[in-house]
């Protein structure tokens, strides 16, 4: 088993692709030991091969299963000497479409992964975080957790939940020496933009984004912002200029923002 050998360590869910994989690359490049966790074994292996077997601990993890979390924590603790500097709760999924067109079981899965998965991770890791000192939880939320996003209603609801959980725990855990922050990206060039109504759906969110000419930021921007979220003094970290603009508009110009959102929606059948 690879060992941290005194290096700072980060536990990353959703590490097989997208923001999780890029964050692993970035933290590794800055001398950190990375725990890589996902349900995608092939993707995990590719990332581990890239950063080197001596620099990471790798295991499959379904964030909705507490037994998976317990096993992952045991392995990570053995690799890091019982320490965890950062828990990066990054795994997430979405479904895109009118609310009534998304099957309830698909909505359940979004909630299970995006909210319960984050909660499970914090429960599982809190003892390691307490032992580390000046540790941090970074939860991936979204600009959809600042602005209610039509045709992403359930996804948006989960990201509002993550935002609220983050704010509450940043206060609650401060007495234990643990900070809790969130990463709030705009559209990032990752596989989640291929979300549809269901797995395998022909109509993807990415198609609408491209048709509307909206900005899509590189995954490297999200990883750099995750680094800031792991080290900075703020609670929420917006990734992308459009994300910062949306937060400002939601606070100071909600009526104008709603009109803009309505103007970008396709007609209802």
- Write down the catalytic residue from 37, 123, 155, 217: 155
> In the chain, pLDDT over 70 holds for what percent of residues?
87
- Look up tokens 């792991």; give the residue: 230
* Nearest in space to 142 (alpha carbons), one of 119, 116, 161: 161
**pLDDT above 70: residue 166:** yes
Q: What is the mean pLDDT of residues 17-29?
A: 97
Question: Where residue 205 falls among pLDDT bands split at 50, 70, 90?
Answer: low
**pLDDT above 60: residue 256:** yes
The vertex-186 CA angle with 184 and 189, nearest 5°, equals 115
Q: What are phi and psi of 253, to 5 degrees?
A: -140, 55
**pLDDT above 90: residue 3:** yes
Question: Where residue 188 falls among pLDDT bands split at 50, 70, 90?
Answer: confident
Three-state secondary structure of the chain = CCCCCCCCEEEEECCCCHHHHHHHHHHHHCCCEEEEEECCHHHHHHHHHHHCHHHEEEEECCCCCHHHHHHHHHHHHHHHCCCCCEEEECCCCCCCCCHHHCCHHHHHHHHHHHHHHHHHHHHHHHHHHHHHCCEEEEEECCHHHCCCCCCCHHHHHHHHHHHHHHHHHHHHCHHHCEEEEEEEECCECCHHHHCCCCCCCCCCHHHHHHHCCCCCECHHHHHHHHHHHHHCCCCEEEECHHHHHHHHHHHHCHHHHHHHHHHCCCCCC
* Nearest in space to 27 (alpha carbons), one of 50, 45, 43: 50
CB hemisphere CA count around 216 (13 angstroms): 16
Question: So what's the pLDDT on residue 269?
Answer: 72
The Cα 245–Cα 19 span in angstroms is 21
What is the average pLDDT score of the chain?
A: 89
Q: For the range 39-48, what are the long-range contacts, defined as Cβ-Cβ under 8 Å and sequence gap of 24 or more? A: 40/16, 41/16, 42/16, 43/15, 43/16, 43/17, 44/15, 44/16, 46/16, 47/15, 47/16, 47/21
Global pTM value? 0.89
Give the rounded distance of the alpha carbon of 114 from its chain centre.
8
Known catalytic membership, residue 155: yes
Question: Could you tell me the domains of the chain?
Answer: 9-263 (3.40.50.720)
Pick 231 or 258 by higher pLDDT: 231
CB 142 within 8 A of CB 88: no
**pLDDT above 80: residue 74:** yes
* Nearest in space to 56 (alpha carbons), one of 76, 85, 83: 76
Question: So what's the pLDDT on residue 252?
Answer: 73
For the ranges 49-58, 139-148, 182-191, the one whose mean pLDDT is highest: 49-58
Any idea which of 19-28, 229-238, 243-252 has the lowest mean pLDDT? 243-252
For the ranges 156-170, 190-204, 213-227, the one whose mean pLDDT is highest: 156-170
CB 39 within 8 A of CB 61: yes
Question: So what's the pLDDT on residue 197?
Answer: 46
CB 23 within 8 A of CB 226: yes
Question: Where residue 4 falls among pLDDT bands split at 50, 70, 90?
Answer: very high
Pick 194 or 175 by higher pLDDT: 175
pLDDT in tens, 96-149: 889 999 999 999 999 999 999 999 999 999 999 999 989 999 999 999 888 888
CB 113 within 8 A of CB 92: yes
Question: Where residue 65 falls among pLDDT bands split at 50, 70, 90?
Answer: very high
Question: Where residue 207 falls among pLDDT bands split at 50, 70, 90?
Answer: low
């Amino acid at each position: 088993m690879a060992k941290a050998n005194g290096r700072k360590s980060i536990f990353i869910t959703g590490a097989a692709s997208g923001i999780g994989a890029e964050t692993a690359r970035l933290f590794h490049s800055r001398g950190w030991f990375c725990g890589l966790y996902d349900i995608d074994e092939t993707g995990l292996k590719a990332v581990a091969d890239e950063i080197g077997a001596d620099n990471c601990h790798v295991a499959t993890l379904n964030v909705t299963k507490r037994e998976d979390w317990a096993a992952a924590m045991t392995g990570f603790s053995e690799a890091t000497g019982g320490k965890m500097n950062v828990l990066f709760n990054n795994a997430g999924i979405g479904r895109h479409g009118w609310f009534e067109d998304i099957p309830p079981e698909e909505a359940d899965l979004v909630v299970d992964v995006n909210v319960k998965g984050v909660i499970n991770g914090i429960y599982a890791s809190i003892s390691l975080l307490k032992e580390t000192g000046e540790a941090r939880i970074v939860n991936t939320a979204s600009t959809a957790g600042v602005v209610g996003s039509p045709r992403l209603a359930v996804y948006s609801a989960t990201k509002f939940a993550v935002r609220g959980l983050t704010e509450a725990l940043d206060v609650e855990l401060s007495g234990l020496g643990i900070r809790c922050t969130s990463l709030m990206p705009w559209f990032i060039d990752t596989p989640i933009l291929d979300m549809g109504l269901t797995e395998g759906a022909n109509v993807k969110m990415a198609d609408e984004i491209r048709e509307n000419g909206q900005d899509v930021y590189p995954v490297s921007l999200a990883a750099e912002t995750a680094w800031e979220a792991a080290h900075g003094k703020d609670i929420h970290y917006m990734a992308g200029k459009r994300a910062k603009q949306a937060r400002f508009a939601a606070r100071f110009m909600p009526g104008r923002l709603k009109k803009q959102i309505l103007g970008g929606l396709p007609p209802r059948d």
